[in-house]
């Protein structure tokens, strides 16, 4: 049997039955289940939005979204790089349990249940537009086999670095993008800007499914840099409205990319209003990890990490604390701010509760719907991360305390985020009880993986 036919057979048969068993029966369905949209930026820092303190880059639509909804101050992504962070978002597991714990790893397996599968089982139309990165075209991990009815975008995250691709995928089919030519990872002919295509596909998905509950996951590639283009890697059709700024070109391009993304989000919000489904649609916006220092981007110039220490690939706060804005008219109080420590693995159980679906057992996440609705919210005792690029590093958030350890037997660093959000002073020696409690937790925080060795 051909490998592709085998994959179809397994995914449609035994794997589907396994997923159905994991999900069980749907929970009690609310009378009016909301549409769910989750927009994910790529390498956008905690300080890159106006509503989080950004002064140089205009983000009026996201600022309005925060003013009309809830802004989280202590929200975290799944990991300080792309693939594991997205795996945590999709599967409700932190990086100590997730199948994908680093970039360039294995694809999702048939038994890895995603939020799209959970919502699809409850009758939602499900769509993914943008960057996937959790399984290439010849694997079990493609979006159409992980619960998405419709997919348009990049499967391979390395190809997603180019903003003018020669091809994208529509479902399982490779679609040629006429007018774009790429040589050695760099576009030599530029006609169609990928984020523009993603916007039109997202609007079309909303239009097609406006009369039924839908889940749209828009994963823009903005403002990730095209590393192959080096100092010209921040690709954008125009540097407006920053053309007249006395800045190096990469800074103009970065600002233009973010403002253009904000404009596109404004168009999505406008479409929801035009279709009369705004009040029954909950929209999430976040970023997959902290800001990068690539393609000529200078995160210090824009204060992209805000008051936080570190950037992408760090387990200090700047690498993993991200903006999270959620808007649901009539349900989420306008202008509300939440200091609840939450993370990407909370999205699956939250979406399941919103959609009246049963979440699979054994998740690391919990529903944060009570917090969104202004009700009493249970909190995590611990949040956990691990990172496998270079030396193995672990991090833990426990209430006001943040800990970091290099290697399984390394010394624990401890910071009090309530008074030291920038993690400037290691106070482990002053708080042996907290250190001991976190060290005890670390003994149980993770499971070993055949793909992700931890070293000493």
pLDDT digits (tens, 9 = 90+) for 324-342: 999 999 999 999 999 999 9
Q: pLDDT-derived band of residue 4, with 50, 70 and 90 as boundaries?
A: very low
Q: pLDDT-derived band of residue 19, with 50, 70 and 90 as boundaries?
A: low
Find the range with the poorest average confidence among 28-32, 144-148, 439-443: 28-32
Q: pLDDT-derived band of residue 453, with 50, 70 and 90 as boundaries?
A: confident
Q: Is residue 439 predicted with pLDDT exceeding 70?
A: yes
Check residue 296 and give left, alpha or beta (phi > 0: left; psi -120 to 50: alpha). Answer: left
User: Which is more confident, 257 or 231?
Assistant: 257
- Tell me if 266 sits within 8 A of 203, measured CB to CB: no
pLDDT at 230: 86
Comparing C-alpha atoms, which of 180, 183, 218 is closest to residue 40?
218
Q: Is residue 111 predicted with pLDDT exceeding 90?
A: yes
pLDDT at 18: 47
Q: Is residue 30 predicted with pLDDT exceeding 60?
A: no
Q: Is residue 63 predicted with pLDDT exceeding 90?
A: yes
Q: Is residue 1 predicted with pLDDT exceeding 80?
A: no
HEC-encoded secondary structure of the chain: CCHHHHHHHHHHCHHHHHHHHHHCCCCCCCCCCCEEEEEEECCCCCCCCHHHCCCCCCCHHHHHHHHHCEEECCEECCCCCHHHHHHHHHHCCCCCCCCCCCCCCCCCCCCCCCHHHHHHHCCCEEEEEEECCCCCCCCCCCHHHCCCCEEEEECCCCHHHCCCCCEEEECCEEEECCCCEEECCEEEECCCCHHHHHHHHHHHHHHHCCCCCEEEEEECCCCCCCHHHHHHCCCCCCCCCCCCCCCCHHHHHHHHHHHHHHHHHHHHHHHHHHCCCHHHEEEEEEECCCCCCCCCCCCCCCCCCCCCCCCCCCCCHHHHECCEEEECCCCCCCCEEECCCEEHHHHHHHHHHHHCCCCCCCCCCCCCHHHHCCCCCCCCCCEEEEECCCCCEEEEEECCEEEEEECCCCCEEEEECCCCCCCCCCCHHHCHHHHHHHHHHHCCCCCCCCCCCCCC
Provide CATH 3.30.1120.10 ranges for the chain. Answer: 390-442
Find the range with the poorest average confidence among 12-16, 261-265, 374-378: 12-16
CA distance 168 to 125: 22
Q: Is residue 22 predicted with pLDDT exceeding 90?
A: no
The model's pLDDT over 141-180, given as tens digits with 9 standing for 90+, comes to 999 999 999 999 999 998 999 999 999 999 999 999 999 9
Q: Is residue 21 predicted with pLDDT exceeding 90?
A: no
Provide CATH 3.40.720.10 ranges for the chain. Answer: 32-380
Percent of the chain with pLDDT over 70: 93
CA distance 233 to 316: 26
Q: Is residue 268 predicted with pLDDT exceeding 80?
A: yes
Q: Is residue 7 predicted with pLDDT exceeding 80?
A: no
Q: Is residue 36 predicted with pLDDT exceeding 80?
A: yes
Comparing C-alpha atoms, which of 210, 160, 151 is closest to residue 182?
160
pLDDT at 32: 78
How does strand 173-176 pair with strand 412-416?
Answer: unpaired
Q: pLDDT-derived band of residue 11, with 50, 70 and 90 as boundaries?
A: very low
User: Which is more confident, 298 or 26?
Assistant: 298
Choose which CATH entry (3.40.920.10, 3.40.720.10, 3.30.70.141, 3.40.50.300) describes domain 32-380.
Answer: 3.40.720.10
Q: Write down the mean pLDDT value for the chain.
A: 93
Architecture of domain 390-442: 2-Layer Sandwich (3.30)
Q: Is residue 14 predicted with pLDDT exceeding 60?
A: no
Q: Tell me the mean pLDDT in the region 442-446.
A: 97
The model's pLDDT over 369-404, given as tens digits with 9 standing for 90+, comes to 999 999 999 999 999 999 999 889 999 999 999 999
pLDDT at 241: 98
Whole-angstrom CA distances from 201 to 132, 166, 179, 198, 218 are 15, 17, 19, 5, 9
Q: Tell me the mean pLDDT in the region 355-364.
A: 96
Q: Is residue 228 predicted with pLDDT exceeding 50?
A: yes
Burial 378-411 (b: 16+ CB within 10 A, else e): eebebbbbbbbeeebbbbbbbeebbbbbbeeeee
The reply to whether the predicted model has a pTM over 0.85 is yes
């Amino acid at each position: 049997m051909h490998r592709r036919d085998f994959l179809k057979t397994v995914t449609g048969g035994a794997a589907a039955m396994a997923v159905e068993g994991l999900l069980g029966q749907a929970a009690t369905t609310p009378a009016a289940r909301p549409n769910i949209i989750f927009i994910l930026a790529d390498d956008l820092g905690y300080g890159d939005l106006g509503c989080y303190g950004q002064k140089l880059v205009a983000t009026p639509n996201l600022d309005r979204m925060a003013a009309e909804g809830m802004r989280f101050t202590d929200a975290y992504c799944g990991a300080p790089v792309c693939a594991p962070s997205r795996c945590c978002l999709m599967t409700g597991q932190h990086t100590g349990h997730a199948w994908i714990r680093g970039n360039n790893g294995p694809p999702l397996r048939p038994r890895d249940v995603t939020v799209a599968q959970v919502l699809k089982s409850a009758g939602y139309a499900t769509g993914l537009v943008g960057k996937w990165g959790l399984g290439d075209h010849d694997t079990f991990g493609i979006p159409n086999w992980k619960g998405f009815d419709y997919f348009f975008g990049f499967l391979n995250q390395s190809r997603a670095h180019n903003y003018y691709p020669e091809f994208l995928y529509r479902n399982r089919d490779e679609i040629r993008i006429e007018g774009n030519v790429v040589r050695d990872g760099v576009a030599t002919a530029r006609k169609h800007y990928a984020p523009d295509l993603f916007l039109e596909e997202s609007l079309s998905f909303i239009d097609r499914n406006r009369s039924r509950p839908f889940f749209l996951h828009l994963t823009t590639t903005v403002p990730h840099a095209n590393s192959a283009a080096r100092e010209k890697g921040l690709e954008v059709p125009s540097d407006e409205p920053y053309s007249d700024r006395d800045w190096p070109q990469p800074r103009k391009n970065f600002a233009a990319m973010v403002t253009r993304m904000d404009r596109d989000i404004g168009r999505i919000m406008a479409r929801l209003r035009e279709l009369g489904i705004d009040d029954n649609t909950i929209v999430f916006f976040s970023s997959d990890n902290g800001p990068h220092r690539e393609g000529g981007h200078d995160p210090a110039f824009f204060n992209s990490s805000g008051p936080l220490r570190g950037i992408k690939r760090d387990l200090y706060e700047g690498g993993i604390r991200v903006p999270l804005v959620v808007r649901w008219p009539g349900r989420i109080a306008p202008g509300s701010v939440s200091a609840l420590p939450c993370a990407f693995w909370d999205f699956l159980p939250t979406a399941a509760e919103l959609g009246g679906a049963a979440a699979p057992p054994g998740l690391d996440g919990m529903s944060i719907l009570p917090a969104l609705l202004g009700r009493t919210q249970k909190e995590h005792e611990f949040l956990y991360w691990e990172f496998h690029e270079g030396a193995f590093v672990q991090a833990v958030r426990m209430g006001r305390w943040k800990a970091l350890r290099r290697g399984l037997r390394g010394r624990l660093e401890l910071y009090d985020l309530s008074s030291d959000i920038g993690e400037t002073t290691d106070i482990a020696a002053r708080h042996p009880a907290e250190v001991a409690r976190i060290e005890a937790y670390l003994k149980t925080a993770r499971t070993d993986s055949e793909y992700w060795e931890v070293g000493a």
